[in-house]
Amino acid sequence: MSKLYASMGKRIFDLVFATLFSLLLFPMVGISLLIPGVRLLSKQRLGFGAKPFNEFRLRCPLDGFGHTLERISFHRLPALWNILLGQMSFIGPRALRDGEIRPEECCHIRFSVSPGFISPWWVRVRSNMTFDAEFTIDAQYVQKIGIKQDVGILFRAALTSVYGKEETTEYTKTLSLLGVTMDNTTTADAIAFMDQRIREKTRTRVSFVNADSLNKAFTDAAFCEVVNSSDLVLGDGIGIKIGAKLTKQSIKENVNGTDLFPRLCEHMSEQNQKLYLLGAKDGIPERVRDWIEKTHPGVNVVGVRNGFFQASENDAVCEQIRNAEADILLVAQGAPRQETWIRDNMDALGVPVAIGVGGLFDFYSGQTARAPIWMREAGIEWMFRLLQEPRRMFKRYIIGNVVFIVRILSQFGTCPHE
Ligand code: UDP
């Protein structure tokens, strides 16, 4: 099926979509050429089999108007003609410039298909989900080639153009929403920061926040303070993206706990670091330990404990953790309990890095299924969660997200606890 699609179906897909879009958009391209400063040009790119071809595009004036045309990718529309000519596909790896690829990579699998007008990597960048290198994503694309994948990418490209990341190279160091200040960082930089703190043996509290926890912080000044006083605050999920977009802030990457965790394990495995898992129901952290031992054997899991204990047991729990001498402690008790608990017990715990991770253990123990990647890329993981636990999640997502957006719009630029 996928071979048939690669050899014939894909071309039909390209012709149908390129013809449709050309009929719709070429008149606008023609009109734009009447605007002073707009010109049609072609640039040499590497096509199928790394053979050069000329990709058409528009040169736009260097003013606000030209910038807007480029921001909405209007300047790339003439490349629809390259698709009709068979030099490009609608979906495929980005067309590279000559010299952008090293000679030893010339036979890379990405050249076994035509370059695309929309690339899978671009969609990931726009949906703030770029963890792998571009060529890795291209290779995965070619391996899984099929109509389902192409339609999915097209669908996600449309979605990300609505709420996706702004293309910018200038990011502020922090992002601010509803009185909470988050670090504008990437997964890789967050892990590097934690690693540095382990080496320096500096006590470090890491908090993840999503729309739900920002709603909690909005009505709970004490929780807001706990989060803001953390050493690293990471914004997680579509709510943060929409909130940032509404307040005109650019997010570098969606650094969520579930995607960070395997990368953190990979890093800890290389460094032979020690991890303690505290939280969730009895038996769950043990299953997470099994998963870590199987997939990242270099990580030393020095202790596990469920997250349900009485206040009278608190000192014993802290002592148990302290004696285990972990480098990183993960606390999965849900917000605001876990962040507050970490803050209150940080000295007694003696760990360099403690992270509040919410429902993470439930995912990695296999207790709760995670949404497929296409849903995560499209920013609709919450729909999957809603279907899994309709009652609890209705309040959190349907009501919570609306309340969150209303609050963002009405609180723009102010701190609720000032
Ligand atoms: N939990 C816990 N102790 C408690 C309350 C909750 O360990 O006293 C666990 C619970 O079993 C679940 C996690 O905390 O594994 C919270 O999950 P939830 O989905 O509510 O967290 P979120 O990701 O939304 O913060």
Say what the pLDDT of residue 413 is: 47
Measure 259 CA to ligand 1 centroid, in angstroms.
Answer: 18
CB atoms within 10 A of CB 3: 10
Residues 152 and 10 grouped into a single domain? yes
For residue 382 and ligand 1, the question of a CB distance below 6 A is answered with no
Confidence of residue 242 (pLDDT cuts 50, 70, 90): confident
Res. 416 pLDDT band, cuts 50 70 90: low
361 lines ligand 1 (CB under 6 A): yes
- How far apart are alpha carbons 186 and 126 in whole angstroms? 14
Test site for ligand 1: of 333, 337, 391, most ligand atoms within 8 A of the Cβ: 333
Q: In the chain, pLDDT over 70 holds for what percent of residues? A: 93
Q: pLDDT digit string (tens) for 307-333? A: 999 999 999 999 999 999 999 999 999
The per-residue pLDDT for range 290-312, each reduced to its tens digit, is 999 999 999 999 999 999 999 99
Residue 125 sits in the same domain as residue 219: no
Q: Are residues 283 and 373 in the same domain?
A: yes
Q: Is the CB of 279 under 6 A from ligand 1?
A: yes
Q: Which two tokens stand for residue 83?
A: 């698709």
Same domain, 257 and 323: yes
Cβ–Cβ under 8 Å, residues 375 and 381: yes
Same domain for 209 and 119, yes or no, is: no
Number of H helices, E strands in the chain: 20, 12
Domain extent for 58: 2-163
Q: Which residue has the higher pLDDT, 342 or 155?
A: 342
Residue 110, Cβ density class (10 Å: 0-12 exposed, 13-18 middle, ≥19 buried): buried
Half-sphere exposure of 197 (CA within 13 A, CB side): 20
Q: Is residue 382 situated within a structural domain?
A: yes
Examine the domain organization and report whether 217 and 330 are in the same domain: yes
Per-residue pLDDT for 97 more than 90?
no
Residues whose CB is less than 8 angstroms from the CB of residue 168 and which lie 6 or more positions away in sequence, other chains included: 250
Establish if 229 belongs to a structural domain.
yes
Q: Which of 255, 272, 271, 269 is nearest to 355 (CA)?
A: 255
One domain, residues 331 and 187: yes
Within a domain: 90: yes
Residue of 362, 365, 396 with the most ligand 1 atoms within 8 Å of its CB, for mutation: 362
Ligand 1 atom 8: the closest Cα is on which residue? 308
Q: Is 169 part of any domain? A: no
In terms of domains, do 275 and 159 share one? no
- Shared domain for 282 and 257, answered yes or no, is yes
Residues 6 or more apart whose CB falls under 8 angstroms from that of 224 comprise 179, 180, 217, 218, 416, 417
Tens digit of each residue's pLDDT (9 = 90 or more) over 23-76: 999 999 999 999 988 999 999 999 998 899 999 999 988 788 888 888 788 999
- pLDDT computed for residue 291 by the predictor: 95
Domain boundary among 163, 191, 216: 163
Q: How many domains does the chain have?
A: 2
Is the beta carbon of 9 within 6 A of some atom in ligand 1? Answer: no
Q: How far is the CA of 359 from the centre of ligand 1 (A)?
A: 5
Q: What is the DSSP letter of 417?
A: T
Residue finishing a domain among 102, 129, 163 = 163
Please give the average per-residue pLDDT across 367-378, as a whole number.
82
Examine the domain organization and report whether 51 and 179 are in the same domain. Answer: no
Supply the pLDDT for residue 21: 92
Ligand 1 pocket, 280 CB below 6 A? yes
Q: For ligand 1, say whether the CB of 334 is within 6 Å of any of its atoms.
A: yes
pLDDT in tens, 223-237: 999 999 999 999 988
pLDDT at 129: 65
SS3 291: helix
Identify whether 317 is part of a domain: yes
Q: What is the mean pLDDT of the chain?
A: 89
State percent of the chain over pLDDT 90. Answer: 62
Above 90 in pLDDT, residue 265?
Answer: yes
Is the pLDDT confidence value at 169 over 80? no
In tens, the pLDDT along 108-139 reads 788 889 999 999 988 887 776 655 677 888 88
Give the pLDDT confidence score for residue 107 in this predicted structure.
62
The residue whose two tokens read 């502020």 is 172
Q: Is 13 in the pocket of ligand 1 (CB under 6 A)?
A: no
Give the pLDDT confidence score for residue 377 in this predicted structure: 72
Q: Where are the alpha helices (DSSP H) in 92-220?
A: 120-126, 134-143, 147-163, 187-200, 211-219
Give residue 243 CA to ligand 1 midpoint distance, Å: 24
Domain-located, residue 416: no
206 lies in a domain?
A: yes
Asked if residue 417 belongs to a domain, the reply is: no
Instruction: List, in order, residues 6 or more apart from 282 with CB less than 8 Å away.
Output: 306, 308
d(CA 86, CA 95): 13
pLDDT at 30: 93
Instruction: Mark whether 254 and 323 lie in a shared domain.
Output: yes
Ligand 1, atom nearest to 333 Cα = 14
Atom 17 of ligand 1: nearest residue by CA position: 359
Of 134, 163, 192, the residue at which a domain comes to its end is: 163
Bridge partner residues of 305 (DSSP): 278
pLDDT at 373: 75
Amino acid at the residue 389? E
163 or 400: which carries more pLDDT confidence? 400
Mean pLDDT value of segment 276-288: 97
Residues 44 and 105 in one domain: yes
Question: pLDDT, tens digit, for every residue of 144-153?
Answer: 899 888 988 8
